[in-house]
Amino acid sequence: MCRHLNQERQEMKKISGFEPYEVPGAEGLVVREFGSECGGPNQCCVYISYLDFVKYKSMLKKGVEDGVLMDYINLYNQFFIASGEGNTKITATHLPFFNGDYWSRAAENIVRKLEVEETSACGLQSKLPNKRILKAMG
C-alpha cells in the first residue's frame, strides 16, 4: 500500500509539476500485514491505523463520499446504541470477541478475580447461572 501511495505521488508530481512532498498523501496511515508464517492471533491479518485521531472520522467520511469505502462504523455505535430492532438489552456482553483480542482475555481475568473474591468473602462456592438466566440477561 505504501508503495502504491508513493507511486501515486510520483505520478501526481509528473502531472502537476509539484515536488513529491508537496503532493498530499496519507502521512499518518500505518499498515501492518502479517502473513501465514506469523503465529498467534496476528496470522493472516492486516491492521490499518491512522495516527491523527482528530482527522480520523473526517478521513473515513471523505472515503465514503469518494466511493473508496462503502461504510464505516465504530464499536460504540454498533453495539451500544439501540437500533430499534426488538427489545435488546444493551450490555458489554454484546461486544464481539475476536481470536487474540486483549479485551476478551482481560475480561475473563477480571471475572475470575471477582469470583475468587466473592467466594472468599462469603465462604461459599458461587453458583454459575444456568442457560435460562444467561438468555434472560441478554
Which pLDDT tens digit goes with each residue over 93-104? 766 666 666 666
Statement to judge: residues 68 and 96 lie in one domain: no
Indicate the residue among 39, 72, 105 that finishes a domain. Answer: 72
Side chain identity, residue 12: M
pLDDT, tens digit, for every residue of 1-31? 556 666 776 776 677 666 655 545 545 566 7
Split into its structural domains, the chain has a count of: 2
Q: Rank 9-13, 51-55, 64-68, 91-95 by mean pLDDT and report only the highest.
A: 64-68
Average pLDDT over residues 59-80: 77
Statement to judge: residues 12 and 52 lie in one domain: yes
Statement to judge: residues 64 and 94 lie in one domain: no
pLDDT at 54: 47
For residue 87, is pLDDT > 60? no
Q: What is the residue range of 129's domain?
A: 85-138
Residue 23 is assigned to a structural domain of this protein: yes
For residue 64, is pLDDT > 80? yes
- For the entire predicted model, the pTM comes to 0.28
- Cα 111 to Cα 66, 89, 117, 118: the distances in Å are 44, 20, 10, 10
Statement to judge: residues 110 and 66 lie in one domain: no
Statement to judge: residues 58 and 115 lie in one domain: no
Within 8 A by CB and 6+ apart from 125, the residues are 119
